[in-house]
Structure 1
Amino acid sequence: MNFKTTLTGRFVTTGLVVALTTSAAFLFGYAPGAYGAAPAVPHVVSFGDSLSDLGTYATRTEGRSAGRFTTNPGPIWIEVVAQGLGSAITLNRHAGWGKPPQAMGGTAYGEGGARVALQPGSNNTDATKGAGSEQTTLPVRAQISAYLDYSHGQFTPDDTVFVWAGANDLFQHAFFAHSSSDAAGDALVREAARDLVAEVKRIGATGATRIVVLNLYDFGQVPFFIAKPKSVVLSAWTRSFNDELASGLAGTPVLLVDLFSLMHLANADPAHYGLKSASSSACKLDDLPQRAVVFCTDQTLVEKDANLNFLYADGLHPTTVGHRIIGEYVLAAMKTAGMR
């Protein structure tokens, strides 16, 4: 595959040429015709964590940024996908950091720190306090339930549903809950993957015929974690989660896109993707309150256009161009699978 990158003003346009189609390095669950017919203008719905968060905690930044976990104000992958499908997607709610939840009316439910099914999520200081905690981290299970409450218990054939979650379950057992052993942590990570399979199947059982799930990229190899003692464990747990996810979704009409392989290639050969760096952060983290990427903007980059040349914003979350690469990869997978 080949990415050709050109600058257009402040943003990047990335043309993706797919040289492989049904390869396991590209997507899982490939079965042309297994998915619902593409509507003229799909209704895009997204569930997940900070990688899919359109600004749930924007009130924390007090107007200094859009409050996304990237190089603000750049679009993230789900917006790239929605636009590529001829649609759009907007934020579901503002919440957290002592503010009462404020409904925004959109269908992007992802919240930074969210786990698949459990609380507390990452940086949620007290799950019982809700809006009084730092991050509310509404789990994906609860996000789906919230959407079903809104939609009278059903998805429709016009819905194209995207799910990307599980990272915070890895982080919880590696850094917060401190599992009693690596084996115990691995078992809990696999349980989270099985929980995600159950939630994806619930989406299908309540009417959705077009479901796209992204697996996890290797968090043990990202700049933020690669030098830490838990990096090897994180890599192993990422593989365990992805294996359990693929096994659980096998034989279902769900498109499982292999982000693990994409990001592995981008980490190993950033120049192939038009990138300058995949080993450092685009944001000046020491200049940001609490080193939090939600405050990162064009004014806090390590160099001009780092949001367009670096893969990672903070060594963990993708930059504007990183999200563009992911979004176009997902669109190409959907095209190969006959979903667009």
Structure 2
Amino acid sequence: MRHVFLPVLLAAALLSACNGDDNSPAPVPVPPVEPAPKPHFSAQISFGDSLSDVGTYAVGALKALGGGKFTINGDNTRLNPAFTGLTWIEVMAARLGLPAPCAAQTGLDGNAAQGFSVRVQNHAGCFGYGQGGSRVTHPVGPNNKLTGSALGALTVPVKTQIANHLAQSGGKFKPDDLVLVMAGGNDMLFQLGALQAGATAAGQAAGARQYFDSLVPLLASGAIAPSTAAVAIFSAVSAELARPGSSQASATIAAVGAAAGQPGNAAVASMAVYGPMVAAAQADAATAGAAAGNKYAADQGPNLVTALTLAGAELATLVKSQVLANGARYVVVNNLPDVAQTPAGRSKPAETQALMAAMAQAFNAQLSSALSAETDVLLVDVYALTQQAATNPSAFGLTNVTETACDLSSVKNPLLSSLACNGTNLKAGDVSRYAYADDVHPTPYFYAQLATQVEERMVQQGWR
């Protein structure tokens, strides 16, 4: 019955309190709980790759071309308000009221005749360490001179970028620094490039073997003794291929000559006879080459996922042991976007797209596992952002997520890259709200969307 009388007792107690002794002490006022003060950032420090590069390569011939960053370069707001030329790093600084970021290091180590050899300089007071081509820990990334590239990108890895900052800041981050980290894309692209090269080599080798395995029996088929003729033809092919400067074409001529010399087989010397045989052998070679290339890619694919797992773990370790451990209290870490949704990814077969997704997910899983419990780290899910933009572009104000805004023809863009893209070499029409400037790098508009995503997460975290 307690539930019946409790309201009555509570009411009586309240009435008694209202009419009680005038000498009873007044209740002690409880001060309102003040929200925690939002941080005021004194500096923005960024580490990463081309997506965070604020002008490492805006020198020499690239500067003369009106390029230097991996987007639509330059302030072209006179053409369209979206053509700001800003990356997400620059947008973040502007929104936070901080000075415009500048590249901590500039220069090129490439072909001097093409204007790609520019003295490397370090700039004190500039905290934009991200560089196009940089990987997490490996010093050789895409377009580094050691890959054979004429550009000579510096590709200083994130590990060294952080060490360089600590060297000039007394070994510490300030407690009011905002540290932005985004890397791993070049680890993926480098691995995929190596996979493609290996698959191509495997396919070419298999195709070359199959070509003569198919051609020789066909050429020998008209001889009185086909098996004997085949031995003689194979011998001629082997001798020719062993000769310096030989080729499949020269070995084919040798094969036809040897075949025509076999008893009863003189007619094969006519192109009308051997031509269809060569065509049939080429078709067999193409089929065998494709199968071998696909098998190589399938066999090696799991190794690429493992490599990205390692890269993700390495980046997480750097954040914990070199950034947080050295005093940083506000660290934003963006995970890898879904590269399969870029124009480059969309141009690949379904199997390659699935591999790209698996690689990114493996990398991102390492970041999440190692950093999600760190209260001074804010993880931003760029992978989800790029997927959402791909499936529902209008929600982000995007008009195209499959094509490039930059005209990447060699006539308009000698580097075939957003690194040399600006307001003068865009595709015709309104490309201001395209997602991608080139096959993997965002337009200024899409970079702004990324900055908005980061800023929204900072608000949720109480950092804005």
Q: Please say whether Structure 1 and Structure 2 have the same fold, judged by a TM-score greater than 0.5.
A: yes
The structure-2 alpha-carbon separation of the partners of 1:174 and 1:289, relative to structure 1 and needing over 3 Å to count, comes to: same
Tell me if 1:91 matches 2:103.
yes
Contact 1:42 1:85 in 2 (8 A): no
Q: What are structure 2's unaligned runs of at least 5 residues?
A: 1-35, 75-84, 111-116, 199-296
Letter in 1 for 2:102: T
- Residue 68 of structure 1 corresponds to which residue in structure 2? 69
Name 2:450's counterpart in structure 1. Answer: 326
Deviations 1:57-93 (A, max 9, x none): 1124142224100011211101111111121322212
Question: 1:114, CA displacement in angstroms?
Answer: 0.3
The letter of the residue matching 2:325 is A
Over 3 Å counting, the alpha-carbon distance change for 1:37 and 1:52 in structure 2 is farther
Q: 1:235 to 1:320 in 2, by over 3 A?
A: same
Distance 1:199 1:247 in 2: 14
Query: Which has more helix, going by share of residues?
Result: 2
How far apart are the structure 2 equivalents of 1:294 and 1:114?
15
Partner of 1:107: 127
- C-alpha distance in 1 between matches for 2:164 and 2:348: 37
2: CA distance, partners of 1:135 / 1:206: 29
Change (3 A) 1:264 1:331: same
Matched ranges for 1:28-177 at <5 A: 38-59=38-59, 60-73=61-74, 74-88=85-99, 89-96=101-108, 97=110, 98-105=117-124, 106-126=126-146, 134-176=152-194
Other structure's SS at 1:153 match = coil
| Cα distance, 1:41–1:119 mapped onto 2, change above 3 Å | closer
Deviates more, 1:219-228 or 1:141-150: 219-228
| More displaced 10-residue stretch of structure 1: 328-337 or 61-70 | 61-70
Q: Deviations over 1:117-152 (max 9, x none)?
A: 01211111328x9xx971110000000000000101
Q: Secondary structure at the match of 1:290?
A: coil
> SS of 2:357's equivalent?
helix
- SS of residue paired to 2:343: coil
Distance in 1, matches of 2:38 and 2:301, equals: 43
Say which structure, 1 or 2, has more relative contact order (CA 8 Å, 6+ apart): 1
Q: Is the partner of 2:64 in helix, strand or coil?
A: coil
Q: 1:193 to 1:293 in 2, by over 3 A?
A: same
Residue type of the alignment partner of 2:396: Y
One-letter amino acid matched to 2:49 = D
**Contact 1:197 1:248 survives alignment (8 Å):** yes
Cα distance in 2, alignment partners of residues 272 and 278 from structure 1: 12
Change (3 A) 1:38 1:153: farther
Stretch of structure 1 that moved more, 264-273 or 154-163: 264-273
Q: Tell me, in whole angstroms, the C-alpha distance in 1 between the residues paired with 2:97 and 2:177.
A: 13
Corresponding position: 1:240 with 2:330: no
In the alignment, the residues of structure 2 paired with residue 301 and residue 289 of structure 1 have an alpha-carbon distance, to the nearest angstrom, of: 13
Shift in Å, 1:290: 2.7
Q: Percent identity?
A: 34
Counting only pairs closer than 5 Å after superposition, residues 215-226 of structure 1 correspond to structure 2 as: 215-226=335-346
Distance 1:199 1:305 in 2: 42
TM-score (norm 1): 0.84
**CA shift at 1:217, angstroms?**
0.8
More deviation in 39-48 or 272-281? 39-48
Q: Pick the aligned partner of 2:374 from 228, 252, 277.
A: 252
Unmatched segments (≥5 aa) in structure 1? 1-35
Shift, 1:39, TM fit: 4.0
Aligned-partner SS, 1:126:
helix
Determine if contact 2:338/2:386 at 8 Å carries over to the other structure. Answer: yes
Asked if the contact 2:346/2:402 (under 8 Å) is kept, the reply is no
For residues 397 and 446 of structure 2, the distance between their equivalents in structure 1, rounded to whole angstroms, comes to 11
Query: Structure 1 CA distance, aligned partners of 2:138 and 2:37?
Result: 34
Q: Secondary structure at 2:47's aligned position in 1?
A: strand
Contact 1:285–1:314 (Cα < 8 Å) also in 2? yes
Question: Offset of 1:305 from its aligned partner?
Answer: 4.2
Cα deviation for residue 265 of structure 1 reads 0.8
Check the 8 A contact 1:66/1:294 in 2, yes or no. yes
Q: How does 1:170-319 map to 2 (within 5 A)?
A: 170-176=188-194, 181-201=300-320, 202-229=322-349, 230-253=352-375, 254-286=377-409, 287-306=412-431, 308-319=432-443
Task: Give the structure with the larger strand fraction.
Answer: 1
- How big is the shift at 1:157? 0.8
- CA deviation vs aligned residue, 1:258-315 (integer Å, no higher than 9, x gap): 0111111111121221111011000000020130211100111113441x21000012
Structure number with greater Rg is: 2
Amino acid at match of 1:61: L
Q: CA RMSD in A?
A: 2.1
Q: Is the 8 A contact 1:309 1:321 kept in 2?
A: yes
**Paired residues, what number?**
302
8 A Cα contact 1:173 1:185, kept in partner: yes
- In structure 1, what residue type is equivalent to 2:118? K
Distance in 2, matches of 1:133 and 1:310, equals: 27
Distance 1:293 1:235 in 2: 23
Note the C-alpha offset of 1:322.
Answer: 0.6
- Report deviation, 1:231: 2.1
